């Protein structure tokens, strides 16, 4: 039995959600600073690491939605 394909609007929503981490990563002025630090780690590093986790989660959710 074939799985039901999501509607066009839901697929568009997932595609936009997949591009958000990409656009955040390429917009360097957003995170090009040292403060605030988190456990002594400058913002520049922990913000990028956070977005790796967010991007992985969004990708996993999009995969589970079978877009």
3-state secondary structure of 26: helix
Look at residue 11 in the predicted model and tell me its pLDDT.
86
Look at residue 66 in the predicted model and tell me its pLDDT.
78
- Number of neighbouring beta carbons within 10 Å of residue 39: 5
Evaluate the omega torsion of the peptide bond into residue 36 and state whether it is cis, within 30 degrees of 0.
yes
Looking at per-residue pLDDT, the higher value among 38 and 1 belongs to 38
| Helix (H), strand (E) at residue 20 | helix 8-26
Look at residue 8 in the predicted model and tell me its pLDDT.
82
Look at residue 48 in the predicted model and tell me its pLDDT.
94
Q: What are the pLDDT digits (tens) for 5-64?
A: 768 888 889 899 999 999 999 999 998 999 999 999 999 999 999 999 999 999 999 999
- Cα separation, 18 vs 59, in Å, equals 7
């Amino acid at each position: 039995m074939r799985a039901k394909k999501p509607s066009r609007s839901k697929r568009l929503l997932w595609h936009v959600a997949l591009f958000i981490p990409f656009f955040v990563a390429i917009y360097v002025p957003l995170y090009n600073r040292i403060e605030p630090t988190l456990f002594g780690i400058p913002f520049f590093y922990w913000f990028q690491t956070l977005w790796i986790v967010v991007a992985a989660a969004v990708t996993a959710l999009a995969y589970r939605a079978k877009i």
